Amino acid sequence: MNVLILHGPNLNLFGRREPHIYGSVTLPQINERLQRLAEELGCRLLTIQSNHEGALVDFFHEHIDDTAGAVLNPGGLTQSSVSLHDCIKAMPFPVLEVHMSNLAAREEWRRHSIISAACRGSVMGLGWRSYTAALRALVESLREQADS
């Protein structure tokens, strides 16, 4: 079972960028924790981080036929990317949106995600654990779906 992990713009700065909001865990540490969980869950991760919207869209397109689901932190594209929204809607697999912070508790302009409407669900506000919670929930739901 292949699962995509997509990290959007500026997320390569985790651990340095506003640690009072995002914590001190780095993106490589998050990816390492996700990889360990994926091994435990019996799935294979395909991971990308890009500061470019089109690279994320291209990654989805590249894996449209070999992926069971995806976990996406759109970062700064959350409130603005119609292209990413439309891409997610075109995918034949579920996508979970992830945010380390709780968007509802942030600035007013951050509170509305145009990505959410295209996704199966969202996990936010748990710091780096938002990623592992999303991966676990995604794999469990995919297995339940396959069993029914």
For tokens 């969202």, the residue is 122
The CATH number covering residue 29 comes to 3.40.50.9100
Domain holding 23, by residue range, is 2-147
Q: What pLDDT tens digit does each residue of the chain (148 aa) get?
A: 999 999 999 999 999 988 887 889 999 999 999 999 999 999 999 999 999 999 999 999 999 999 999 999 999 999 889 999 999 999 999 999 999 888 777 778 666 799 999 999 999 999 999 999 999 999 999 999 988 8
pTM of the model: 0.94
Whole-angstrom distance, CA of residue 85 vs CA of residue 75: 13
Whole-angstrom distance, CA of residue 95 vs CA of residue 85: 11
> Active-site residue numbers?
22, 99
Q: What pLDDT is stored for residue 111 in this prediction?
A: 66
Number of domains within the chain:
1
Neighbours of 81 (CB within 10 A): 23
Q: What pLDDT is stored for residue 102 in this prediction?
A: 80
